[in-house]
Amino acid sequence: MNLVDEMNWLAPQWHRLGSYIQSGRVPQALLVVGREGVGKAQLAESFSKRLLCRTIGEYACGECASCRLFAAKTHPDFLRIEPEETGKAIPVDAIRGLIASLALKPQYSGRRVVFISPAHQMNVSSANSLLKTLEEPDEHTTLLLLTDSPQSLPATILSRCQRMDIPVPERSLALAWLAKHGQGDNAEVLLSLARGTPIKALGLANDGIIEKREEFFSAWRDLAERGGEPATVAEKWSKFPCETLADWMISWTMDMIRLRAVTRNRAIDNPDLAERLQSPAQKINMQDLFRFLDRLNAARKMLSSQVNRQLLLEEMLILWLRGHGKDLTALSQ
Ligand SMILES: [Zn+2]
């Protein structure tokens, strides 16, 4: 199946890329921007394959030598630069290695594609090294930089790239896509959890996220209803990605605020939990809910630095527990 049949929301970007090829104006560096799971990699890979294909068409032919090498992930003219581990920086050695390869001529189609993802994870030296390449254009080479955080890239890099944004698809398209992939029942919730991006939503479904979320939500609510040991809950959940837990708590707290707000029928992020969010929402006053939300957001930011994650999670749970007890003043500390 071709890209646009498979992911129809990518059609406008795919057609724009096609017009670059037809007019002979493929940018030397293209920055593909969009949220995680919106299809940046799928778009960039299909485009790379098409650029390298030896035949001309709206899509890569899938049959020529170049397409076969691409499919086997052994194409010598497709250079993929990624962190060695998720979340780690792209080290300068990777960029230096890339620059050395660029000194050689492409081997197959007279073209070469460099795929850098996530581009904002280049450290300062990596970005500086890459900048030299961007300053000396090479007609054979197209650089594709993928990011969900363009604001984290140096301005010097941004100014040398043509930017292509992939917006979050319309909800109806995303829901239909999830249904086609067997997630019709949970599509709404999955899509909320994935901030609207279908591919991320499907990935979450495959990771059993619905069950995990239910389990954590129950533990979180039990703390409020029956009390308990935040430390025990934090220990149990410390191996689970703390960012996800913080995002969940933020989203539940925002929904409690929405549920208490004067305007009724406001859309909430967790419609499946609405009923069970009602009672805690009524027990905490609005001001304390906002305070709790501020503290959660502050804690969420701290997760990108070197912190003791289990301890931070425990602190968030203690605040939540206190929000239901006598000690409401603790929230304003
Ligand atoms: Zn081909």
Q: Ligand 1 centroid to 102 CA: how many Å?
A: 22
Please compute the mean of the pLDDT values over residues 62-77 and round it to a whole number. Answer: 96
Distance between Cα 14 and ligand 1 center (Å): 17
The angle formed by the CA atoms of residues 327, 331 and 333, to the nearest 5 degrees, is 105
In the reported structure, the alpha carbon of residue 75 is separated from the centroid of ligand 1 by a whole-number distance in angstroms of: 12
| 191-199: average pLDDT | 92
pLDDT at 35: 96
Distance 41 CA to ligand 1 centre (A): 19
pLDDT of residue 327: 47
Residue 333 has pLDDT above 70, yes or no: no
**Angle at alpha carbon of residue 276, lines to 179 and 325, rounded to 5°:** 145
Q: Which residues have CB under 8 Å from 205's CB, separation 6+?
A: 178, 183, 186, 190
Distance 63 CA to ligand 1 centre (A): 5
The predicted structure's pLDDT at residue 263: 63
| Mean pLDDT calculated for residue range 248-267 | 84
Q: How many CB atoms lie within 10 A of CB 2?
A: 12
Backbone angles phi, psi at 69, to 5 degrees: -65, -40
Q: How far apart are the C-alpha atoms of 194 and 152, rounded to whole Å?
A: 21
What pLDDT is recorded for position 192? 87
Average pLDDT, the chain: 91
Q: Rounded to the nearest whole angstrom, what is the distance from the C-alpha of residue 65 to the centroid of ligand 1?
A: 7
pLDDT at 329: 44
Distance 142 CA to ligand 1 centre (A): 18
| Residues, CB within 5 angstroms of ligand 1 (ion) | 53, 60-61, 64, 67
Give pTM, 2 decimals: 0.82
Please give the distance, rounded to the nearest whole angstrom, from the Cα atom of residue 331 to the centre of ligand 1.
61
**6-62: pLDDT as tens digits:** 999 999 999 999 999 999 999 999 999 999 999 999 999 999 999 999 999 999 999
Tokens 């299909």 belong to 46
250 pLDDT exceeds 80?
yes
Span from the CA of 37 to the centroid of ligand 1 (angstroms): 26
323 pLDDT band (50/70/90 cuts)? Answer: confident
Helix (H, G, I), strand (E, B) or coil at 112: strand
